[in-house]
Amino acid sequence: GENVEQHPSTLSVQEGDSAVIKCTYSDSASNYFPWYKQELGKGPQLIIDIRSNVGEKKDQRIAVTLNKTAKHFSLHITETQPEDSAVYFCAARKAAGKSTFGDGTTLTVKP
């Protein structure tokens, strides 16, 4: 089955700096790659996603890139703010299959 590896497990940045979280996947049939943000005491929230026919997608301060050949995708957060502090999960999914999640990255943005 699908295997998703996520790095780093923890990331600490200064407010205003950029943060990058990277994931690799194993199943070349996966074609949908969402990113979730989980704040303390809450369920994960979908923040951005990318499909296999797109190389990059941007939404305000967050962007996701996908390299299908290398089977890796990344989340980029620019101009980080303290409210960006949370656990971020990547996931990979085939069209009709279940999502496989990475192990999560705890992002801390220091004021």
Partner 1 sequence: SAVISQKPSRDICQRGTSLTIQCQVDSQVTMMFWYRQQPGQSLTLIATANQGSEATYESGFVIDKFPISRPNLTFSTLTVSNMSPEDSSIYLCSVEAGQYVRYGYTFGSGTRLTVV
What is the rounded CA–CA span in Å between residue 86 and residue 39?
Answer: 5
Query: 41, 60, 70, 83: which one contacts partner 1 (CB under 8 A)?
Result: 41
Near partner 1 in 53-82, by CB under 8 A: none
The answer to whether residues 35 and 75 touch, using CB atoms and an 8 Å cutoff, is yes
- Cβ burial of 76 (10 Å; 0-12, 13-18, 19+) is middle
Measured from the CB of residue 16, what is the shortest distance to partner 1 in angstroms? 28
- Choose the stretch contacting partner 1; rule: CB under 8 A; options: 34-42, 53-61, 62-70, 73-81: 34-42
Q: What is the dihedral of CA 105, 42, 31, 53, to 10 degrees?
A: -90
Taking 3-state DSSP, the helix, strand and coil percentages for the chain, each rounded to the nearest 5, stand at 5, 55, 40
Given a contact cutoff of 8 angstroms between Cβ atoms, the answer to whether 33 and 73 are in contact is yes
Q: Mask of contacts with partner 1, 86-105, x by CB under 8 A?
A: ---x---x-x--xx-xxxx-
40 binds partner 1, rule: CB under 8 A: no
The yes or no reply on residue 46 touching partner 1 (CB under 8 A) is yes
- If the CB atoms of residues 26 and 111 are measured against partner 1, the closer one turns out to be 26
Binding site for partner 1 (CB under 8 A): 32, 34, 36, 41-46, 49, 89, 93, 95, 98-99, 101-104
